Amino acid sequence: MTNPLLAEGALPDFAAIRAEHVLPAVQSRLDALEAGVEAIVQAATPRDFEHVLLPLERLHDALARSFAPVAHLHAVADSPALRAAYGEAEQRITAMQALLGQHRGLYEVVQAVRARPDFATLAPAQRALAEHALRDFRLAGVALPEPARTRFRAISERLAELGTGFEEAVLDAGEAWRQHITDERDLAGLPPSALHTLARCAREEGLEGYLIVLRQPAVQAVLTHAENRDLRERVYWAWNTRASDQGPQAGTFDNSARIAEILALRHEAAQMLDYSDAAALSLADKMAPGVAEVRAFLEDLLQRARPRALVEREELRAFAAAELGLPNLEAWDIAWASEKLRRARHALDEEEIKAYFPLPQVLAGLFELVERLFGVRVREHGAASVWHPDVRYAEVFDAAGQRIAGLYLDLYARGGKRGGAWMDVCRARFRDGARMQMPLAFLTCNFAPPTAQAPALLTHDDVLTLFHEMGHVLHHLLTEVDLPGVGGIDGVEWDAVELPSQFLENFAWRREGLDRVARHHRSGAALPEALFQRMLAARHFQAGLHLLRQLEFALYDLRLHAEYDPAHGARTLELLGEVRRAAAVLPPPAWQRFPHAFTHIFSGGYAAGYYGYLWAEVLAADAFARFEEEGVFDAATGAAFRREILAVGASRLALESFRAFRGRDPDPAPLLRSYGLTA
């Protein structure tokens, strides 16, 4: 039987992939990788790029081609069998990566490539690949003596296992909680689109009435619109205690022990490599110069944002007391009261706005905008094999009509699918002699699905999310680097990788951008100018509170890793309390367990790197400022952004790419203006 994960087709055959295919395919790739590495090390051929690093790229790319579809299916179409196969495969891959990262023979042949007199004549991407490989060897403990080297490898394997367990606990906790409602009066305040979503959830489980599940659209709808305060409290309680020792499932999926072990192992690994802590180790391959500089950056923003946030808090409290009969504003009241205040102040109705953002129109307009900015066409193609009927596939064509990339879009919330929104790599661009592998990407969201009465209707926040993830997609698909290890988003400093995504969001705030994506789903009318102006007026609504929330996440993550002390353990909640006393002006209840579902830092690659969202936001706001100066759809500016940012991947440092586009170092003033703050 042919294993679809080993097939060499242009696209993966997702419909044919089964759990039983995973381990045979992955083990086959790992065996080939191990044998290939030994052949490289033992070969009598020259120690040059063509005989060392290019064969390594082939081996690693082959493994990625087999495992990327599995990792994606684990996130969007999970099942017990697939989860078990994925977990075992990930452990085997991690073990092999740890082993190869400490392979001194391989390290020496890569060093030999770097030491060649003609190294400087290699292409920038080739030199970058060698430099990244040597750095990664050092960070993998290649220079450690035994038994430390073996211990470091064991830590790497255990951390991968813990990360998977952490994410699965969050998913399981979300899937396990249900609130069945049969009387629509208990859902007073929810807009029709949200009621349709909850009714659909009930039908999927064979129930009458409505079913609230812990998926982002349902939770957001209840907390923002439900008049029933007890219901808001129950949903908030369940959502904010997932995978913890608190809440309706207290202890069942508890991530507390995983958090403690993850932090301990990260600290131990950092010190084995002569770094003071895990935060310092994390920054070794990032754009920011060090922990002190990152903390100073965050605390400077905190001092700028806090006065405004305090004003916003008092405005909300006064409004809730005077207009809503809530003298005591609780955590589960904040989104609801904020929406009431936003409507009162700016006359904005989310349902009115959503009517102008039907998903088919938003996608069509987004693709048109991308064509105008970067000279590429995105066209849907119905012939691809997919994992769910809702999934769509699109192809990307250059100005000459040549197909250059592909994109899978999985945009609706459903059971067995991880919450949130993300872009991920399916395949990387790889030119190997006459063979050219086309880059493929996944774009995943969790929007409320369409109903029998209307297409999927997006909030403006949803539109911003879609633009954000499309920015990541373009970074991957429009690369002109032919080596997977430094092409697209791979190898780009983690605190700069958000630049294209946050940059693209700006076009969803411009009339020129909205004219392409906004059409009333019934009449086809454009977004009224009066409504657009009200949206602009509300853009900075509670901007201080929003920025403080991001700073709370970033400071907590940084300090959690920088201040870990084995003598005192993780201090997970104690440290969170310290950060909140400085950063949170609307502190949540003591039983809230935000860290236990903080997948970004415990299973998602953002450990001691969450600050990167704000760090990159400085770059993105300043980059967009050039478009404002030269014309939002200026062809030369779009071509420059594509050439200097999107096309180069990690073939040079992110700061060099920014300077090449902007002509200078980053200026934080546009970011502050974007939050309505002064420089």
pLDDT means per 10 residues in the chain (679 residues)? 91 97 98 98 95 98 98 95 96 95 97 97 98 96 96 95 95 94 96 89 93 92 96 97 96 97 98 97 94 96 95 97 96 97 92 95 97 96 94 97 98 90 97 96 95 92 97 98 97 94 97 96 96 93 95 97 96 96 95 96 93 95 96 94 98 97 95 81
What's this model's pTM, rounded to 2 decimal places? 0.91
664: Cβ–Cβ under 8 A, 6 or more apart, which residues? none
Q: Which CATH code is given to the segment(s) 354-485+498-526?
A: 1.10.1370.40
Q: Residue ranges of the domains in the chain?
A: 4-143, 177-239, 256-348+542-610, 354-485+498-526, 613-674
Q: Are 353 and 461 in contact (CB under 8 A)?
A: no
Count CB-CB contacts under 10 A for residue 404. 18
How far apart, in whole angstroms, are the C-alpha atoms of residue 299 and residue 268? 27
Residue with tokens 């008092």: 314
CB 269 within 8 A of CB 156: yes
Q: Is 469 a catalytic residue?
A: yes
Domain 4-143: give its CATH architecture: Up-down Bundle (1.20)
Instruction: Give the Cα-Cα-Cα angle 53, 58, 63 (nearest 5 degrees).
Output: 125
- The beta-carbon contacts of 314-317 under 8 Å, at least 24 apart in sequence, are 315/341, 316/341, 316/542
Going across the sheet that includes 422-427, the strands are: 377-380, 392-397, 403-412, 440-447, 422-427
Give the integer Cα–Cα distance in Å for 656 and 417. 38
Nearest to 55 by CA among 134, 141, 135, 129: 129
Would you state the pLDDT for residue 679?
55
By DSSP bridging, strand 403-412 and strand 392-397 are antiparallel
Max Cα distance, the chain (Å): 82
Cβ atoms within 10 Å, residue 144: 18
User: Would you mind telling me the total number of residues written for the chain in this entry?
Assistant: 679
CA nearest to 608, candidates 571, 562, 558: 558
**Token pair belonging to 111:** 């060093």
- Specify the residue for token string 């399916």: 426
pLDDT at 1: 65
Long-range pairs for 55-60: beta carbons < 8 A, 24 or more residues apart? 56/133, 57/129, 57/430, 57/432, 57/483, 57/484, 57/485, 58/432, 59/32, 59/33, 60/33, 60/484, 60/485
DSSP 3-state helix, strand, coil percentages of the chain (rounded to 5)? 60, 10, 30
Query: Distances in Å between the alpha carbon of 163 and those of 260, 592, 597, 610, 635?
Result: 12, 21, 12, 16, 43
At 443, list the tokens.
Answer: 């774009």
Asked if 266 and 607 touch (Cβ cutoff 8 Å), the reply is yes
Q: Which of 57, 157, 469, 498 is catalytic?
A: 469
> How far apart (Å, rounded) are the C-alpha atoms in residues 159 and 154?
9
Neighbours of 661 (CB within 10 A): 22
**Residues with Cβ within 8 Å of residue 360, at least 6 apart in sequence:** 455
The CA distance from 252 to 234, in Å, is 18
Instruction: For 256-348+542-610, give the CATH class.
Output: mainly alpha
Model pLDDT, residue 474: 98
Between CA 10 and CA 396 the distance in angstroms is: 14
**DSSP for 376-397?**
-EEEE-TTS--SSTT-EEEEEE
Positions of E strands within 387-470: 392-397, 403-412, 422-427, 430-432, 435-437, 440-447
Query: Would the CA dihedral through 570, 498, 432, 113 be positive or negative?
Result: negative
CA distances to 122, 250, 457 from 308, rounded to whole Å, are 52, 37, 32
Radius of gyration of the chain (CA): 25
In the numeric block, which tokens belong to residue 64?
């990625």
CA distance 315 to 454: 36
**Identical fold, 256-348+542-610 and 354-485+498-526:** yes
Q: Are 545 and 309 a contacting pair, CB within 8 Å?
A: yes
- Answer whether 670's CB lies under 8 Å from 627's CB: no
Indicate the burial class of 452 (C-beta count within 10 angstroms; 0-12, 13-18, 19 or more).
exposed
Nearest-CA neighbor of 260 among 335, 165, 135?
165
pLDDT of residue 416: 87
CA gap 172, 480 in Å, rounded? 40
Q: Which residue(s) pair with 406 in the sheet?
A: 395, 440
Q: How many C-beta neighbours within 10 Å does residue 103 have? A: 19
For every residue of 485-498, DSSP letters joined together read GGSTTTTS-TTTTT
